[in-house]
Amino acid sequence: MRPVELFRHCPRCGTPRPAENHNQSPYRCGGCSLAYFFNPTVAAGAFLFDAGGRVLLIRRAKEPSAGKLAVPGGFIDFGESAEEGLRREVREEVGIEIGRLQFLVSTPNLYPYAEVTYPVLDLYFTATAINPDDARPLDAVLGIEWRLPRDIADGEVAFDSLRAALAALRGTL
C-alpha cells in the first residue's frame, strides 16, 4: 500500500477521497482547498573509503532486507541537510567521522515498512573515513565489512537503488 492509499478522507475537512485518485499529484480535496503532495522522502547513503580503496559496508540488522549489505546512511530528519543527516547516521551506525562529502548519484527507491511502501529518493555520496579503524557495528547493524567495490556481488546488496549507485561508483573508479 502506498501512502496516498492511507488517505481515505481529507485530513483537513473529512471529505471522502475518490478511490480512483491514487495517481493524482498533488491530491486535491473536493471539499476544501487542501492540496497535499505525496513526494518521496529523502535518504542519504555514503560510500566511505579507507586508504586502500575499500568501502565500508554494513550488514543490515532490520527489515527490509535484513542480513543484506548496504552502506551507512538513512532517512534525513526535518531541518537537516542531506550532509548533516548523513554524518549523523554514519556516527549512529558505525561510529566514525568522515571527510568532505562529494555527491555521486541519486536513485529512486521503494521502502516497505509496517505494510506501507514509501517512495524514497536516495542520495549517494562518497567520502573518506577519517578514523576507519574505529568503525564498528552499532545501531541496526549486524556487522561491518571493508570491500573493494569490484568485489561486491549484486546479489548481496539490499536495494535496487544501491545496486544502481554501486554501478555508478564503479564507473568513476
Contacts with Zn ion by CB under 5 A lie at: 10, 12-13, 15, 29, 31-32, 34
Nearest distance in Å: CB 13, Zn ion? 3
Q: Is 123 helix (H, G, I), strand (E, B) or coil?
A: strand
Nearest distance in Å: CB 24, Zn ion? 14
Q: Say if residues 1 and 38 touch (Cβ distance below 8 Å).
A: no
CA distance 33 to 41: 24
Closer to Zn ion by Cβ: residue 13 or 148 = 13
**Measured torsion, CA atoms of residues 85, 107, 141, 154, in degrees rounded to the nearest 10:** -160
Nearest distance in Å: CB 87, Zn ion? 39
Q: Can you count the helices (H) and strands (E) in the chain? A: 3, 9
Nearest distance in Å: CB 28, Zn ion? 9
CA distance 41 to 23: 17
Closer to Zn ion by Cβ: residue 7 or 118 = 7
Closer to Zn ion by Cβ: residue 27 or 111 = 27
Closer to Zn ion by Cβ: residue 29 or 90 = 29
